[in-house]
Amino acid sequence: MQGEEAGASRVRAPQDVAAGLFLVAIAALGLWQGAELSAGSLGQVGPGMLPRALAALTGLCGAVLVMQAFASPGARLARWPLRGPLFILGAAVAFGLTVRPLGLAVAGPLVVLIGAMASRETRWIEAVVFAAVMTALCVGLFKFALGLPIPVAPWAIGY
Amino acid sequence: MGDLAANLSLGFATALTLQNLGLCFLGCLVGTLIGVLPGVGPIATIAMLLPLTFKVDPTGALIMLAGIYYGAQYGGSTTAILVNIPGEATSVVTVLDGHEMAKQGRAGVALGIAAIGSFIAGTAATLVIAALGAPLTRLALLFGPAEYFSLMVLGLAFAVVLARGSVLKAVAMIVLGLLLSTVGTDLETGEERLTFGLADLSDGIDFAVLAMGVFGFAEVLRNLESPETRDVVRGKLGRLLPSLDDFKRCLWPIARGTGLGAALGILPGNGAVLGPFAAYTLEKRIAREPQRFGRGAIEGVAGPESANNAGAQTAFIPLLTLGIPPNAVMALMVGAMTIHGVIPGPQVMTKNPGLFWGMIASMWIGNLVLLIINLPLIGLWVRLLKVPYRLMFPAILLFCCIGIYSINNNPADVLLTAFFGFSGYLLYKFGFEPAPLLLGFVLGRLLEEKLRQALVLSRGSFAAFVERPLSAALLAVALVTLVVAVLPAVRKSREEAFQE
């Protein structure tokens, strides 16, 4: 993996630098969280040994990735549009927060509508109708046909 | 042989009850329905549909799950042929000639030969499982902790070789997966590990949550980013049944694909993924006119599809005999079995023969059902595939949320899935592949347990792993595999193989 231009100090694989630093950060997090666990001995492995060893290995992989990024060329970092992650994951979070207190009747349309904001192609009237239809369908399928204990609208009908 | 017949007849007696037959049928149907959606592979499909099986008895539930699995696999192939998007990793090569055939108005024949090839492969694989099940279970009894550990190390080594791109990144993903698997309460001491003080993490990370985040949500995010390039076949599907000439061309490719796929599927470390690639490369190498490949050669669909299905099925062998899930789908099966109180491993066959053989028999029935329901339903799948993505992804999202919530009736799981979805998206942006991460996670807990047991037995000496012949042999194969993966010459050809 030695680069042909030895001694070049410029980053030649920005994606790998980011990837390596990401791994190092996770390793640090793991080591910090696992710091108080006892490692034990090889004859009697404690709860802390594997987490610590694996975190260290993760960090090592990250460090090597970063170092390699100076030696050999690689991919650039891709564009980072925020719209998708924001609304898709936001929709899931909204579902998680509302499904218990407000039920599927609220959480369902929320997922579809917040999720729909992630795409530029969304047509709003269509999305609203689709949200209503999908929610009704899911209530029928999961609650009534399959009998899963998922709340529908506790504030209106009591379950 | 008498044993085999008796076992299979017990299996068929179990699988052919009206209820189980119905469940198998339903599983295949909904599995295909969800699996057809572009960007929804078998892993996300099974995680999503897991709650459907909660009300059924364990045998029925597993039969239905197996049906969902085959349905999802076949759905992926349907998407690959009708649209230029592979539904999942294993149907990547089906796109090459399958979609080409579809463009030439032979979509029906492509789908037909895929279904027929899959059925033949499934039949052979069912027999392989039935024949190997009993002897391998006996072999499993010879396995001590050291052998289990070494076998799993071998599986992880395979996963490194099979991952695309940088070897270092694949290793990093496996280690990260192993690290994630240590989150939660320690089995021996009951201490909480790496939970950040969150009560929802004290039982560890649920596999379905991780898989759905990394494969389900992250996949939606990736699809949204690349502009819509779906190229659903327009016009006629053509006839469904291949002509006699087509059959003649495909007979040997199906046989070779079945053999390759079945053999690779048994390997731990997701060997099944390799099957279709290997089958395609083989058919192209030995073809009299290799230039036909990529331009709609029917052999290029028949071989890989047979390999795909054979591998999908023989992947059950390590799970049912050793209790080791060889890939992410099988790990979900472990989760499903555990929910129903069945712990996968050699004891299933002795303690619960009805369940074991019933499931094996239902595999064959599932393949038959797929053949029957898919041929007439192809028109419906085509129409479903024409639904624009702007409507499809919110629906996928909603199903994912309801599925994840229903597994434990825990809203926190949905939040955690969103978190892993974001992590999966980051990993994708950093050029990592999620498959090795999942495999590391899948094997992590068992790996740690067996490592600790083995070290206790050997009083802290690693020599035990090399002194026991079986364990030493497994480790040696793992080492050779890894060395080979790093060798420059092999790396080059590996890259070429993935390019094709």
Asked if B168's CB is within 8 angstroms of A65's CB, the reply is yes
pLDDT of res. B494: 57
Give the mean pLDDT per block of 10 residues along chain B (500 residues): 78 89 92 86 87 86 89 86 74 85 87 90 89 82 89 88 82 95 87 86 89 87 75 70 87 94 84 84 87 88 92 88 85 83 82 85 87 81 85 92 91 95 92 88 90 89 88 92 75 57
Long-range contacts of residues A37-45, Cβ cutoff 8 Å, at least 24 apart: A37/B186, A37/B191, A37/B193, A41/B460, A42/B455, A42/B460, A42/B461, A42/B462, A43/B455, A43/B456, A43/B459, A43/B460, A44/B456, A44/B460, A45/B451, A45/B452, A45/B455, A45/B456
Residue of B nearest to A43 (CA): B460
Claim to verify: residue A54 and residue A87 sit in the same structural domain: no
Asked if A64's CB is within 8 angstroms of B168's CB, the reply is yes
Asked if A97's CB is within 8 angstroms of B411's CB, the reply is yes
Six-digit token string for B376: 């007439």
Asked if B171's CB is within 8 angstroms of A84's CB, the reply is no
Claim to verify: residue A109 and residue A141 sit in the same structural domain: yes
Chain A partners within 8 Å of B179 (Cβ): 26, 30, 51, 54-55, 58
pLDDT of res. B389: 86
- Which has the minimum average pLDDT: A85-99, A132-146, B343-357? B343-357
DSSP assignment letter at B102 = I
Claim to verify: residue A91 and residue A151 sit in the same structural domain: yes
* Helix, coil or strand: residue B57: coil
Asked if A81's CB is within 8 angstroms of B51's CB, the reply is no
Claim to verify: residue A94 and residue A136 sit in the same structural domain: yes
pLDDT of res. B134: 78
Asked if A58's CB is within 8 angstroms of B54's CB, the reply is no
Place of tokens 């996949």: B219
Residue of A nearest to B220 (CA): A88
Enumerate the β-bridge partners of residue A45.
A40
Nearest by CB: A37 against B193, B430, B452:
B193
pLDDT of res. B349: 80
Would you tell me how many other CB atoms lie within 10 Å of the CB of residue B493?
10
Q: Å from B496 to nearest chain A CA?
A: 18
Claim to verify: residue A92 and residue A64 sit in the same structural domain: no
Q: Tell me if A1 is assigned to some domain.
A: no
Claim to verify: residue A152 and residue A90 sit in the same structural domain: yes
Residue of B nearest to A135 (CA): B398
pLDDT of res. B435: 83
Chain B partners within 8 Å of A45 (Cβ): 451-452, 455-456
pLDDT of res. A2: 41
Nearest by CB: B426 against A22, A118, A127:
A22
Q: Tell me if A65 is assigned to some domain.
A: yes
> How many domains is chain A built from?
2
Asked if A65's CB is within 8 angstroms of B172's CB, the reply is yes
Judge whether B282 and B500 are in contact, CB under 8 Å: no
B277: left (phi > 0), else alpha (psi -120 to 50), else beta?
A: alpha
Claim to verify: residue A57 and residue A114 sit in the same structural domain: no
Claim to verify: residue A96 and residue A63 sit in the same structural domain: no
Asked if A50's CB is within 8 angstroms of B390's CB, the reply is no
- For residue B86, give Cα distances in angstroms to B90, B174, B261: 8, 25, 18
Question: ipTM of this model?
Answer: 0.91
Claim to verify: residue A87 and residue A61 sit in the same structural domain: no
pLDDT of res. B227: 65
pLDDT of res. A7: 44
Place of tokens 């790990």: B331
Asked if A19's CB is within 8 angstroms of B430's CB, the reply is yes
The runs of H, that is alpha helices, within B238-298 are: 244-266, 274-286
Asked if B456's CB is within 8 angstroms of A88's CB, the reply is no
pLDDT of res. A8: 47
User: Count of A–B CB contacts within 8 Å?
Assistant: 193
How buried is B489 (Cβ within 10 angstroms: 0-12 exposed, 13-18 middle, 19+ buried)?
exposed
Asked if A138's CB is within 8 angstroms of B172's CB, the reply is no
pLDDT of res. A147: 83
Place of tokens 């992410």: B328
Nearest by CB: B415 against A30, A96, A127:
A96
Question: What domain range is A130 assigned to?
Answer: 83-157
Claim to verify: residue A143 and residue A93 sit in the same structural domain: yes
pLDDT of res. A5: 44
Chain B partners within 8 Å of A28 (Cβ): none
Judge whether B245 and B395 are in contact, CB under 8 Å: no
Nearest by CB: A44 against B196, B448, B456:
B456
Q: Tell me if A6 is assigned to some domain.
A: no
Asked if B397's CB is within 8 angstroms of A115's CB, the reply is yes
Residue of B nearest to A148 (CA): B406
Residue of B nearest to A115 (CA): B394
Chain A partners within 8 Å of B418 (Cβ): 89, 92-93, 96
pLDDT of res. B499: 54
Q: Give residue-wise pLDDT tens across range A2-32.
A: 444 444 457 888 899 999 999 999 999 999 9
- H helix and E strand count, chain B: 23, 2
| Domain boundaries of chain B, sorted by first residue | 2-499
Q: Tell me if A2 is assigned to some domain.
A: no
